[in-house]
Each structure stands twice: as C-alpha cells, then as structure tokens.
Structure 1
Amino acid sequence: MRLLRTFHLRPTAHPLVRIGSAYGGYVVPLPLVAPDWIAYSVGIGEDASFDLDLIRRTRCTVRAFDPTPRAARYLAALPERPPQLTYHAFGIWNRDGEVRFFAPRDPSHVSHSIHNLQGTSTSIAVPMKTLASAMREAGDARIDLLKLDVEGAEYDILDDLLATAVRPRIVCAELHDPWPRRNLALVRRLRAAGYQLVALEPPTVTLVRLGG
C-alpha cells in the first residue's frame, strides 16, 4: 500500500465515517449516502456489520452477495435482518457461470477465494454472475455504492466494471494483492474513470466518483 500514498487523498465535502466492525468495516463519506441509494455488498462471510450499520444510519437498500454456505447460514440466522437487506446466494465476478471457490487453510475461517490465495486443495463449486447480470436480475438501473471483500477477485470485478457504463458513486474495496504496483495501477484506472481516492486504511480503500 506504500505506493498508494503517492496519491494525495482528495478532501471531500462530506465527513468520512468508519462504519462496521474493526474486521469488516470501511470508511464512507456517510452524508453522501441517501435513503434511495442501492448498495451492492460483495463478500459477507460472517460479518455483516458494515451492511447493517449502513442501513441503520442511512436506510438505504443493501444487496448482499456471497455464495459460501456458511455466509448463507450466518445471514439466515441474523436475529433482526432489516427489510432493506436482501441476500443473493451467488458471487460476483467478471463472468457468469460456476467456478471453484478454494477454502482457507484454517477451517475456522470463512473466506474462500477464486484465485486460491492460500494455496489449498479443498474447494467448492459456486455460482458467479457479473455485476451487469446481477443488476438485471434485481431490476436495478444503477449501483450507488459498491463494497468488495472478495479475496483477490476485486481486480477482476473492477476491471469488468470499468468496461461497462455502470459507475457507482462510492467504491470501497479490500485489496488483497501484496504487490503495491498492482494496487497503484488499479487506482490509476479508477482515477482515469473519474474517481478520487478519499480514504486509505490498508488494506482497504475508498474512492468517490466526481461530479456524480
């Protein structure tokens, strides 16, 4: 993340607020988020604190995507799931179809990876859809906030996003690649698409699209 610090964080007119738990939280220009916003939260695991806090504070709609069975059980067992939170039992990637999701080394952990970040041999088959396909299925004409915690697939998803006309106003992502130059290149592509880096809490970044 050191190279990302070469980008000056752009001041925002909206106060930055960290919402969610220490493990699953992100920094968001919270007053920018309106009740009619649609947020896509990709990768839930067993921590929906960001999603629940976002809904509690703004009353916006949050669509949660995670194909892992443990995530499905966790969300089903939430004692008071607000009506603004909808769960979709597939993942988001750069193509539609079934893929192998590789398990973490520690069986007590929940986060699986398309790119097998932990080099394990255990995997499950899970359904994936592009953001465009997910939007069509949900009947959404736009995404206002996109949150990605997807164990390395964030690069694929954001490259696919930039190839479309969909431009969320806020992008929050956890960047899993240890090579700083890949992260720098990603932020440069997002900047070229009209985004500015407003928060950097390694390994998470928050970008806001200007003029939208």
Structure 2
Amino acid sequence: MSVFKKLKEFFILPFSKKVPTELLGEADQWAIPRNSINAQSFIVSAGVGRSITFEEAIIKKFDATVVLLDPSPTGVETMKKKNDTRNIDFLEMGLASQAGEVSFGLPDRADEGSFRKGGKGDGIVFECISLADLLARYGKNKIDLLKIDVEGFEYEIIESIFEKNLEVEQICVEIHHNKVIAIDKTLADAALLILKLFKHGYRIVYNKNMDFTFSKQQLLAKAN
C-alpha cells in the first residue's frame, strides 16, 4: 500500500462526511457544501498563482465578493491580465500567521511560478497579513469560506485559527509536503494537520489528491 493510500485510509476516510456538494472552478477546482455561502458571505482566498477560476465561479454563481491575496510576481501578473475584477478585492500581500515581512522561497518550477514558504537564506521577502488582522481590516467576526493554496504556509495559517480561536466556517486547502515542494513538512505532518482539524470540529467534505474542503459540523446541516 502506498503512503498516500495509507493516508487516505487512516486520515481521510474516517474524518469525512458525505453531504451534497457543488464543484466550482475549472483550472483550479474545489467543492463546497450546498447552501454554505451566499452574496453576503465573507470569502478570503490566499494564493492566486496563474488561475482564479474557482473564485470567478463563486462570484458568478453567488454574486459574492472575494478578498484575494498574493504578493508574488506570478499572482500580481495574473491579476493585471484580468479585465473584469468586479466583486474582487485584490491585496498584493501574502497570508501568514503573523503580519509583517515574511521570507519566501523561489518556485520549485519556474514555469508554474508558485513562490513557496522559505527561510531567511532564500533572500525573498514579501509583506504578509494574518487572518486576525484581515478580519479586523474588514470589520468581520468570521470567515465563511477560506481558500488557501499557499505552498507550505497552510500549516501556520491553520494553527493560527486554533490558537486565536478564529471563526472560520470552511477551509479549502491544498496540503503540501516535502515530496512535492521544497518545504520541511512531511506526509506525517499533513496527517497530523488533518487530525487537528477533525479535533476542532471540521469534517472533510471533498478530497482530490491533496486538495481538501473542511467544513464545520454545524454548517453541514444546511447542505441539502
């Protein structure tokens, strides 16, 4: 049995809950429970990369506003090419556990262009904001949907949710590890993160490879 199959057997299936979902996006896809967001939802998406089809699908279907964050040249260039930015509030900043200047590493694949979590030795620094500061900035007390595709920063961001007792109803996240990109997290760390989310009341409602949607149990009663 492969390592990923073991992960799926022991850390995905037991923590999953079957509910009606809707798949959104094309190049980048996640599924969310039905009736879990609407036009008034506070939606935060960190990591633009080369595509925002998931966010564009949300805007088209729900007429919701999405706060998008990405400080990287790749993400900034993607947003510059967008002719229609209605319902998008783009911040040229990263999302991390602490606000301020944060070290990033160069993309492992230059053609793909995703800047990853790095160290001081990498010599790349971008301005970042924390979830707590983001909530304060917009005068909100909860996030209805958080999407994080942030090349290794997801671990500290999710830990900050627990540590600061932030209210985040659902999380779409790609969980990275060192078999995929050059970060210090292993598949064991990924499994531990899934376990922590379960202990804090989240259930897996969508999974494809290492892309997950986690939803709070109380939200799932609305999915019909």
Q: How many residues align?
A: 204
Distance of 2:77 and 2:170 partners within structure 1:
28
- Flag as ranges the 4+ runs of structure 1 deviating above 4 A: none
Q: Which residue number in structure 1 is paired with residue 104 of structure 2?
A: 101
Over aligned residues, Cα RMSD in angstroms?
1.8
State whether structure 2 residue 25 is matched by structure 1 residue 20. yes
Give 1:34 shift. 1.5
**Aligned with 1:180 (options 167, 175, 187):** 187
Q: Map 1:52-91; keep pairs closer than 5 Å.
A: 52-82=56-86, 84-91=87-94
Give 1:139 deviation, angstroms. 2.2
SS of 1:196 mapped into structure 2: strand
Matched residue, 2:33:
29
Contact 2:161 2:168 (C-alpha < 8 Å) held by counterparts = no
For 2:113, the equivalent position in structure 1 comes to 110
Report the secondary structure of 1:32's partner residue. Answer: coil
Distance 1:194 1:52, change over 3 A: same
Using the TM superposition, give the Cα deviation of residue 37 of structure 1 relative to its aligned residue in structure 2, in angstroms.
0.6
Gaps of 5+ in 1: none
1:200 to 181, 202, 207: 207
Give secondary structure in 1 for the equivalent of 2:79. helix
* Distance in 1 between residues matched to 2:187 and 2:111, nearest whole Å: 29
Query: In 1, distance between residues paired with 2:150 and 2:164?
Result: 20
1:18·1:28 contact (CA, 8 Å) conserved in 2?
Answer: yes
**Structure 2 length as normaliser, TM-score?**
0.84
- What CA distance in whole angstroms lies between the structure 1 residues aligned with 2:128 and 2:44? 15
How far apart in 1 are the matches of 2:118 and 2:156? 10
The CA deviation string for residues 46-102 of structure 1, in whole angstroms up to 9 with x for no partner, is: 2111110111111222100101133123213201112x2110111111111112221
Q: Work out whether residues 4 and 183 of structure 1, in 8 Å CA contact, stay in contact via their aligned partners in 2.
A: no
Equivalents in 2 of 1:185, 1:107: separation in Å?
A: 30
Q: Which runs of 5+ in 2 are unaligned?
A: 180-185, 220-224
State the TM-score, normalizing by the size of structure 1: 0.88
The secondary structure found in structure 1 opposite 2:35 is helix
Q: Counterpart of 2:124 in structure 1: which amino acid?
A: I
Any conservation in 2 of the 1:4–1:184 contact (CA below 8 Å)?
A: no
What percent identity do the matched residue pairs reach? 23
Q: Secondary structure in 1 aligned to 2:116?
A: coil
- Displacement of 1:123 in angstroms is 4.7
Match of 2:160 in 1: 160
